[in-house]
């Protein structure tokens, strides 16, 4: 369905929004809107207005007004998404949640917490640790990304190998639908009762998570927390090339070991990290594996010996163990800061989020390397090797004529390689604008029509984040006159 134009004058619309939330919470001047025209993807789209609600009631009022006059609404967290999910369609507005960032209630005994959508992922984890608990999903953008965005995209992270993605940790949520109606999915608990794991009826909570803002907008989330492990041990396996590192991944899993995290970083990504600061990665390595074990001390020691043996057996040139917490944190700082460090190699990158079976890692990465030669571009790889979630980063300079078209074509080929290997289009970043034209690689027209029927059950007018996920709709690629931008997460 095409985006409808407002039925009232835009100035009148802005004044009504200001009356709802206050003038300081409404941005509409083009200069103020510049920062909201993009997220972490290569897509862009300037919203008409950005509104900053401070409560669920204000969210309802904003969305009700927009629905009444035919304006599309896009929810926005921290803008760290990597699939164009927070990009506004023509004539649309953004509802930004940076002022709804309260941790409302933590129940230590039942290991649950209730938060507003603007809470930063790492802030929640740090808060929970004061009670001997933690929030497990940890995207690489953990320092900046918000819980509402994590729910919309079903975000993962390095530790999703053992603990699952966001959907495995959400108990319930309060949601505003496209007409302003407030509903609850899953279990939010009450003043007398805590949120629970299961509730009768259809699992609308599970259906909603990962719907990329097209079903509704979250205003409150109940989350599951986990106890802190007794022991954490982190290993760095150094390999001469990506092929041998991939062999080691299969060997570790083949031993029946499921680490808390199993990450791979290739030579180009190591170079970028070490360009920024020395975090202990060997600059002459072809690839490294970052492996983390958690659990009881005796169990970690026993499994750790098996991990080390598997690494040496698969041609590791060196195996390091982070003996001190500072060493472990440095290694993880390098992994989680790798994408930002790519700015030391090129002004821009296009990050692809494909998934392949672990047994196909080496073959797929060889094919991706072939694209580097075919298109004359550098491709850095830093990814969740344990579950086959690849993140090839295609480096480019958008100031160069034709560079963006080249990078988009190369990215489409990466996704086709993943699908042809028995994989999928996305592991944790969502489809959004970035991959919607590749959806037919995986789904038939009938498949997608069924998905649209589900969306229409929640948002029949398609006013929430329209133009995402499915082929068609306006192009949001940046025009040639835009100044270059370094992508960050």
CATH code of the domain containing 328: 3.30.70.2190
Task: Assess whether pLDDT exceeds 60 at residue 479.
Answer: no
Q: Is 194 part of any domain?
A: yes
Q: Is 58 part of any domain?
A: no
- Quick one: 298 and 311 in the same domain? yes
Q: Is 1 part of any domain?
A: no
- Quick one: 194 and 258 in the same domain? no
251: domain range?
Answer: 231-341
Given pLDDT bands bounded at 50, 70 and 90, which one contains residue 475?
A: low
Q: Residue 62's closest CA among 29, 92, 106, 33? A: 92
pLDDT at position 484, please?
Answer: 32
Q: Is 190 part of any domain?
A: yes
The answer to whether 209 and 102 are in contact (CB under 8 A) is: no
Looking at 227, 245, 273, which one is the last position of a domain?
227
- Quick one: 353 and 336 in the same domain? no
- Quick one: 256 and 216 in the same domain? no
Task: Assess whether pLDDT exceeds 60 at residue 24.
Answer: yes
Q: How many CB atoms lie within 10 A of CB 171?
A: 23
Q: Is 193 part of any domain?
A: yes
Interval 317-346: pLDDT, tens? 999 999 789 999 999 999 999 999 999 999
pLDDT at position 9, please?
Answer: 85
pLDDT at position 190, please?
Answer: 73
pLDDT at position 341, please?
Answer: 95
- Quick one: 301 and 410 in the same domain? no
Q: Strand runs (DSSP E) across 170-273, as ranges?
A: 170-176, 182-186, 217-224, 226-227, 231-239, 261-266
Q: Count of domains in the chain?
A: 3
- Quick one: 223 and 186 in the same domain? yes
- Quick one: 303 and 267 in the same domain? yes
Strand partners, 380: 393
- Quick one: 378 and 297 in the same domain? no
**pLDDT > 70: what percent of the chain?**
95
- Quick one: 214 and 263 in the same domain? no
Helices (H) and strands (E) in the chain, counts: 15, 20
- Quick one: 186 and 168 in the same domain? yes
Interval 127-162: pLDDT, tens? 999 999 999 999 999 999 999 999 999 999 999 999
- Quick one: 136 and 200 in the same domain? yes
Q: Strand runs (DSSP E) across 48-91, as ranges?
A: 49-51, 73-76
Helix/strand/coil for 134: strand
Q: How many CB atoms lie within 10 A of CB 480?
A: 9
Percentages helix, strand, coil for the chain (3-state, rounded to 5) are 35, 20, 45
Given pLDDT bands bounded at 50, 70 and 90, which one contains residue 119?
A: very high
> Residue range 308-317: average pLDDT?
96
pLDDT at position 4, please?
Answer: 47
Looking at 286, 321, 341, which one is the last position of a domain?
341
Taking the CA atoms of the chain, what radius of gyration do you get in angstroms? 22
What CATH number should be reported for the domain holding residue 187? 3.30.465.10
Phi and psi angles of residue 220, each rounded to the nearest 5 degrees, phi first: -160, 145
Q: How many CB atoms lie within 10 A of CB 81?
A: 29
Phi-psi map region of 66: left, alpha, beta (phi>0 left; psi -120 to 50 alpha)? alpha
H or E segment and range at residue 267: helix 267-276
Interval 186-239: pLDDT, tens? 999 876 677 877 788 999 999 999 999 999 999 999 999 999 999 999 999 999
Looking at 199, 227, 255, which one is the last position of a domain?
227
Q: Is 267 part of any domain?
A: yes
What CATH number should be reported for the domain holding residue 397? 3.30.70.2740
Q: Is 44 part of any domain?
A: no
Q: Is 181 part of any domain?
A: yes
Interval 154-170: pLDDT, tens? 999 999 999 999 999 99
- Quick one: 351 and 335 in the same domain? no
Residue that is written with structure tokens 């390999």 in the block? 239
Q: How many residues belong to the chain?
A: 489
């Amino acid at each position: 369905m095409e985006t409808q134009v407002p039925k009232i004058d835009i100035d009148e619309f802005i004044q009504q929004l200001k009356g709802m939330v206050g003038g300081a919470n409404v941005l509409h001047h083009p200069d103020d809107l510049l920062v909201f025209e993009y997220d972490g993807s290569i897509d862009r789209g300037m919203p008409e207005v950005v509104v900053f609600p401070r409560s669920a009631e204000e969210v309802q009022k904003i969305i009700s007004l927009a629905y009444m006059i035919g304006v599309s609404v896009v929810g926005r967290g921290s803008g760290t998404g990597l699939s164009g999910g927070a990009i506004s369609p023509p004539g649309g507005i953004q509802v930004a949640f940076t002022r709804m960032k309260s941790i409302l209630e933590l129940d230590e005994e039942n290991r649950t917490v209730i938060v507003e959508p603007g809470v930063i992922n790492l802030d929640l984890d740090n808060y929970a640790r004061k009670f001997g608990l933690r929030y497990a999903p940890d995207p690489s953008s953990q320092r900046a990304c918000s819980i509402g965005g994590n729910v919309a995209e079903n975000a993962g992270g390095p530790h999703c190998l053992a603990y699952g993605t966001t959907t495995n940790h959400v108990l319930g949520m309060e949601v505003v639908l496209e007409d302003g109606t407030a509903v609850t999915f899953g279990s939010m608990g009450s003043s007398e009762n805590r949120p629970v794991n299961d509730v009768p009826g259809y699992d609308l909570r599970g259906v909603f998570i990962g719907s990329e803002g097209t079903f509704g907008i979250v205003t409150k989330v109940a989350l599951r927390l986990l106890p802190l492990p007794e022991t954490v041990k982190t290993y760095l396996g150094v390999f001469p090339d990506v092929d041998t590192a991939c062999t080691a991944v299969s060997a570790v899993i083949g031993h029946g070991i499921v680490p808390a995290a199993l990450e791979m970083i290739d030579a180009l990504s190591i170079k970028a990290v070490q360009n920024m600061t020395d975090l202990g990665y060997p600059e002459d390595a072809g690839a490294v594996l970052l492996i983390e074990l958690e659990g009881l001390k005796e169990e970690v020691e026993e499994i750790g010996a098996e991990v080390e043996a598997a690494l040496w057996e698969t041609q590791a040139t060196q195996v390091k163990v982070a003996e001190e917490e500072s060493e472990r944190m440095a290694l993880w700082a390098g992994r989680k800061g790798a994408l930002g460090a790519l700015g030391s190699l090129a002004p821009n990158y296009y990050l692809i989020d494909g998934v392949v079976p672990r047994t196909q890692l080496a073959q797929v990465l060889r094919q991706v390397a072939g694209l580097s030669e075919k298109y004359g571009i550098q491709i850095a790889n830093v990814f969740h090797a344990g579950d086959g979630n690849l993140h090839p980063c295609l480096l480019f300079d958008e100031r160069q004529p034709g560079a963006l078209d080249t990078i988009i074509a190369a990215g489409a080929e990466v996704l086709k390689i993943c699908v042809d290997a028995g994989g999928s289009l996305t592991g944790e970043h969502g489809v959004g604008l970035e991959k919607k034209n590749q959806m037919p690689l995986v789904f038939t027209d009938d498949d997608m029509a069924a998905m649209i029927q589900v969306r229409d059950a929640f948002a029949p007018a398609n006013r929430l984040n329209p133009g995402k996920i499915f082929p068609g709709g306006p192009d949001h690629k940046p025009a040639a006159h835009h100044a270059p931008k370094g992508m960050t997460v």
